[in-house]
């Protein structure tokens, strides 16, 4: 068993680290959070490094489908800026991974080279006001009219809907009784006529805004059905397939990055903060908190990268990806809260980053399937009797 990081991943980590030192200084990242503004110009600089090609096959201008590499990029970006890490996911994963896996030949030829160049972002339009964990209950309707698809309904918490070029949208496309056989994915340009977007202010992930998106008679070409004609009413297998496993890993990698940042800041603070004549790092209460955080961080890293390795090898990883998502995101939440305890008042003040890590970390067990849903997956797939 070899747990050492391969050289190409080390190089990748170093590339992202140098980008972060140059383009993601703390004051810049704090400003994005305060203004809740998406920094497209910085994402364009990231794209210029060619990193979004990590999920795109070579014949379409990418570097090949490198899931471990994508996780390294997400983790390292999230360590400095959740915003930049999510933007990478919007392009390389929501776009590259999905289109590469289930797109039609025409969609691959048109979109994958643009994704490899980092030119286009994709928002995920899955959640609705009355369909969240239970995604098979979405009611946004898609009806065929000649060469077009007409869409009516509402998506909620659609992150980056306005900033992205496309909304990767889950729609009800067939008769209501066929719950799992009447869903499709369609690609809706974010400037399509009939779309109305309303910003939903949130406590974390500020800088990549979320929106309610209303679809009123939105018309798109039938060519935008993901997977082409063969993809009509095949949305559920696309959703429940390998793409979902990788999505869980993406959120786990976000958690790992935020947790790493929180541990590092708390560690440094504990070494520097003097009370009762010595650094607080010398007090057992603080030492135990930090030792616990390091242990959880280490465990989160192992569970994530083992699952990512399985996914990259094309091996079944439904259980492991749920475990990674559950463990790494809950660990991120606990570590950020522990970091806040170590920094105490300064972990609560907006002049430091810890309060942002707390706000961001609280989101991660919710998105990409809540922790309860991951626990359900693990128990069900391990065949615990119901």
Ligand X SMILES: Cc1cc2nc3c(=O)[nH]c(=O)nc-3n(C[C@H](O)[C@H](O)[C@H](O)COP(=O)(O)OP(=O)(O)OC[C@H]3O[C@@H](n4cnc5c(N)ncnc54)[C@H](O)[C@@H]3O)c2cc1C
Binding site for ligand X (CB under 6 A): 123-127, 132-133, 157-159, 202, 205, 210, 363, 366-367, 370, 372-373, 376
Nearer to ligand X, 107 or 159 (CB): 159
Cβ at position 179, least distance to ligand X in Å: 15
Cβ at position 15, least distance to ligand X in Å: 27
Nearer to ligand X, 15 or 202 (CB): 202
Nearer to ligand X, 254 or 262 (CB): 254
What is the 3-state secondary structure of 287-300? Answer: HHHHHHHHHHHHHH
Using alpha carbons, list the distances in angstroms from residue 339 to 78, 81, 299, 347.
17, 17, 17, 7
Cβ at position 133, least distance to ligand X in Å: 3
Nearer to ligand X, 197 or 367 (CB): 367
Nearest Cα to Cα of residue 161 among 129, 209, 215: 209
Cβ at position 156, least distance to ligand X in Å: 7
Nearer to ligand X, 182 or 210 (CB): 210
Q: Which residues, 6 or more positions from 240, have their beta carbon under 8 angstroms from its beta carbon?
A: none
Cβ at position 209, least distance to ligand X in Å: 9
Cβ at position 102, least distance to ligand X in Å: 17
- C-alpha 229, offset from chain centre: 28
Cβ at position 124, least distance to ligand X in Å: 4
Return the sign of the alpha-carbon dihedral for residues 124, 129, 134, 137: negative
Q: What are phi and psi of 121, to 5 degrees?
A: -110, 155
Q: Which residues, 6 or more positions from 304, have their beta carbon under 8 angstroms from its beta carbon?
A: 71, 249, 252, 253, 256, 324, 328
Residue 97 near residue 55 (C-beta atoms within 8 A): yes
Alpha helices (runs of H) in 187-230, residue ranges in sequence order: none
**DSSP three-state, residue 232:** coil
Nearer to ligand X, 300 or 363 (CB): 363
Q: Which residues, 6 or more positions from 297, have their beta carbon under 8 angstroms from its beta carbon?
A: 256, 259, 260, 263, 331, 335
Cβ at position 157, least distance to ligand X in Å: 3
Cα distance between residue 264 and residue 320, in whole Å = 27
Nearer to ligand X, 205 or 361 (CB): 205
Nearer to ligand X, 108 or 325 (CB): 325
Nearer to ligand X, 28 or 376 (CB): 376
Cα distance between residue 164 and residue 120, in whole Å = 7
**DSSP three-state, residue 306:** helix
Cα distance between residue 90 and residue 359, in whole Å = 21
Q: Which residues, 6 or more positions from 386, have their beta carbon under 8 angstroms from its beta carbon?
A: 380
Cβ at position 121, least distance to ligand X in Å: 11
CA atoms within 13 A on the CB side of 199: 12
Nearer to ligand X, 94 or 269 (CB): 94
Cβ at position 5, least distance to ligand X in Å: 30
């Amino acid at each position: 068993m070899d747990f050492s990081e391969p050289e190409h991943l080390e190089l990748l980590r170093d590339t992202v680290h140098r980008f972060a030192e140059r383009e993601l200084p703390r004051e810049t990242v704090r400003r994005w959070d305060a203004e809740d503004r998406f920094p497209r110009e910085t994402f364009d600089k990231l794209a210029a490094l060619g990193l979004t090609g990590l999920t795109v096959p070579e014949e379409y201008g990418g570097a090949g489908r490198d899931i471990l590499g994508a996780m390294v990029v997400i983790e390292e970006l999230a360590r400095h800026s959740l915003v930049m890490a999510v933007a990478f996911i919007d392009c390389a994963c929501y776009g590259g991974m999905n289109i590469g896996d289930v797109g039609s030949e025409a969609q691959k030829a048109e979109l994958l080279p643009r994704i490899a160049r980092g030119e286009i972002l994709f928002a995920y339009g899955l959640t609705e006001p009355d369909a969240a964990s239970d995604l098979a209950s979405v009611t946004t309707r898609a009806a065929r009219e000649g060469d077009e698809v007409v869409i009516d309904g509402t998506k909620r918490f659609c992150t980056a809907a306005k900033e992205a070029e496309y909304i990767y949208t889950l729609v009800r496309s067939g008769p209501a009784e066929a719950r799992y056989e009447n869903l499709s994915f369609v690609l809706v340009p974010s400037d399509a006529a009939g779309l109305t977007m309303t910003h939903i202010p949130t406590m974390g992930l500020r800088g990549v805004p979320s929106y309610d998106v209303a679809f009123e008679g939105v018309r798109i070409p039938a060519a935008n059905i993901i997977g082409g004609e063969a993809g009509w009413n095949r949305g559920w297998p696309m959703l429940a397939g390998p793409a979902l496993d990788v999505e869980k890993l993406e959120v786990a990698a976000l958690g790992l990055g935020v947790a790493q940042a929180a541990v590092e800041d708390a560690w440094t603070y504990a070494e520097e903060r003097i009370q009762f004549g010595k650094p607080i790092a010398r007090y057992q209460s603080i030492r135990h908190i930090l030792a616990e955080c390091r242990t959880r961080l280490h465990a989160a890293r192992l569970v994530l990268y083992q699952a990512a390795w399985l996914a990259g090898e094309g091996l079944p990883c439904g259980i492991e990806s749920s475990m990674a998502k559950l463990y790494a995101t809950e660990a991120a939440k606990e570590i950020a809260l522990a970091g806040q305890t170590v920094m105490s008042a300064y972990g609560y003040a907006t002049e430091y980053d810890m309060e942002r890590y707390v706000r961001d970390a609280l989101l991660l067990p919710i998105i990409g399937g809540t922790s309860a849903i991951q626990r359900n997956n693990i128990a069900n797939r391990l065949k615990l009797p119901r």
